[in-house]
Amino acid sequence: MKDLFKIMKDIENNEAIETDNVNENAKKQFLKGAEVAYEQIITYFAKGDKNSLKPLLEKKMFNRFSEVIDERKNKQLKSETTFIGFKSTKILEFKKIENIYKVTVNFVSEIITCVKDKNNQVIEGNPDTKKTVNDVWRFAKNMWSQNPTWYLIDTSDKC
């Protein structure tokens, strides 16, 4: 799990960040890691797997995800998500603020998702229909940290 974002480490060229000159290969490498993270995070979230989510999310984001997972559990709801694949991924913004790198990524993916009640009846979504999802996620990393992990710090469903 800790190796999940090692592929993103190539982007850590300070001079490239400061001059906004991150090369295309570094961007592609970052996006590969971000795609892996996206798929894992939405899958762990659907399963309610907080232990697997925790090392990928910034603390406030983890608390937000945990609240939703706990609410589903309290209401005896089960979320099912099947990740189909990406239609596109694109870096929208890459910036350095003091010692923090922040990267905003637009993910357009196809998933199958539904929520079932305690009687296994679908109450939201459709387990037989794939849908296109347009998410904008922001990742961050402390440039001085020895930890190669980029943490998810924000999500939205619009560009």
Residue 70: which residues within 8 A CB-CB, separation 6 or more? none
Q: What is the pLDDT of residue 15?
A: 41
Specify the length of the chain in residues: 159
pLDDT digits (tens, 9 = 90+) for 40-92: 999 999 999 999 999 999 999 999 999 999 999 999 999 999 999 999 999 99
Q: What is the pLDDT of residue 145?
A: 85
Structural contact between residues 62 and 53, judged by C-beta atoms closer than 8 angstroms: yes
Contacts of 14 (CB under 8 A, 6+ apart): 143
- Segment 6-39, tens digit of pLDDT: 434 434 443 444 445 567 787 888 899 999 999 9
Q: What is the pLDDT of residue 46?
A: 96
Task: Please name which of 101, 5, 20 lies closest in space to residue 55, comparing C-alpha atoms.
Answer: 5
Identify the structural domains of the chain with CATH numbers, from first to last. Answer: 6-156 (3.10.450.240)
Long-range contacts made by residues 125-130, C-beta under 8 angstroms, separation at least 24? 127/80, 130/84
pTM score of the predicted model: 0.83
Query: Is residue 151 predicted with pLDDT exceeding 90?
Result: yes
Of 98, 101, 93, the closest CA to residue 13 belongs to 101
Please state whether beta strands 122-142 and 78-97 pair in parallel, antiparallel, or not at all (unpaired). Answer: unpaired
